[in-house]
């Protein structure tokens, strides 16, 4: 993870008497994502008695606490005494997760439309998906859905005018400058560009998500035949090769 080049100011807001929210500008930047990741790691490696949970998001960092054990002033003082200045190395390491992606008529439902609207051949659109790392800004909404950024601006398109009632689990989709992976079948209006047989969310695991905030995802292409025959054995081999 890169070192911080400049500090981004935030506003302190509150939700009742048990949650403090650090609200950053409503924009996407390396500085904002660095600070949110830094504070997330800081509280996990330096736990404060009375702090019950920290919740990172795109532009906010929330702290849930027990006011009978710790005061708001003490929490804010702790944050101010640990600024993520340039030269401060992150205290937790992030990982790169390699995710298989299949392109094909049944898997890339909006690839033709993306190609038409962007003026790029389909192979160039696919190439732009597999030649970069996608930062995991947050997971949530439903079943650990990862929100990833940023896509190549050449293929940045708005959401579909008419959302689908059912988007298959594993669908990889883009909208505006973001990418996501549907971890369960659900409604959705993002542009579906590919599909992965890899399970990114399992509520029975100690850590349910394969990729968490601060990690990165890199898509690697597989054939349609491989995707259709994917099983636990193939996933194990994949992880042994790519995600050790």
What domains can you pick out in the chain, each with its CATH number? 11-80 (3.30.1360.40), 96-242 (2.40.100.10)
Bridge partners of 54, per DSSP, are 63
Spatial neighbors of 206 by CB under 8 A, at least 6 apart, are none
What pTM was estimated for this model as a whole? 0.84
Spatial neighbors of 73 by CB under 8 A, at least 6 apart, are none
pLDDT in tens, 164-218: 999 999 999 999 999 999 999 999 999 999 999 999 999 888 889 999 988 999 9
Burial of 200 (0-12, 13-18, 19+ CB in 10 A): buried
Percent of the chain with pLDDT over 70: 94
Query: Strand order in 19-23's β-sheet?
Result: 11-15, 19-23, 60-65, 51-56
pLDDT in tens, 11-51: 999 998 899 999 999 988 878 888 999 999 999 999 999 99
Confidence band for 241, pLDDT divided at 50, 70 and 90: very high
The whole-number pLDDT of residue 62 equals: 96
Report whether 97 contacts 210 (CB < 8 A): yes
């Amino acid at each position: 993870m890169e070192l911080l080049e400049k500090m981004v100011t935030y506003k302190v807001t509150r939700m009742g008497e048990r949650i403090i929210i650090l609200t950053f500008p409503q924009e996407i930047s390396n500085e904002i994502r660095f600070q949110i990741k830094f504070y997330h790691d800081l509280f996990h490696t330096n736990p404060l008695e009375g702090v019950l949970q920290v919740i990172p998001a795109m532009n906010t960092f929330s702290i849930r606490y027990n006011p009978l054990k710790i005061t708001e002033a003490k929490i804010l003082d702790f944050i101010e005494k640990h600024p993520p200045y340039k030269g401060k190395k992150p205290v937790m390491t992030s990982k790169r997760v390699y995710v298989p992606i299949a392109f094909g008529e049944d898997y890339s439902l909006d690839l033709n439309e993306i190609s038409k609207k962007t003026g790029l051949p389909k192979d160039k659109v696919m190439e732009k998906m597999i030649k970069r790392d996608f930062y995991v800004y947050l997971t949530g909404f439903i079943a650990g859905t990862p929100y990833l950024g940023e896509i190549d601006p050449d293929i940045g398109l708005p959401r579909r005018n008419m959302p689908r009632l059912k988007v298959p689990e594993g669908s990889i989709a883009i909208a505006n400058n973001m990418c996501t992976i549907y971890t369960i079948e659900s409604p959705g209006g993002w542009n579906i560009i590919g599909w992965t047989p890899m399970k990114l969310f399992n509520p029975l695991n100690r850590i349910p998500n394969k990729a968490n905030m601060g990690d990165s995802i890199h898509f690697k292409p597989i054939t349609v035949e491989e995707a259709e025959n994917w099983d636990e054995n193939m996933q194990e081999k994949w992880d042994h090769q790519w995600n050790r």
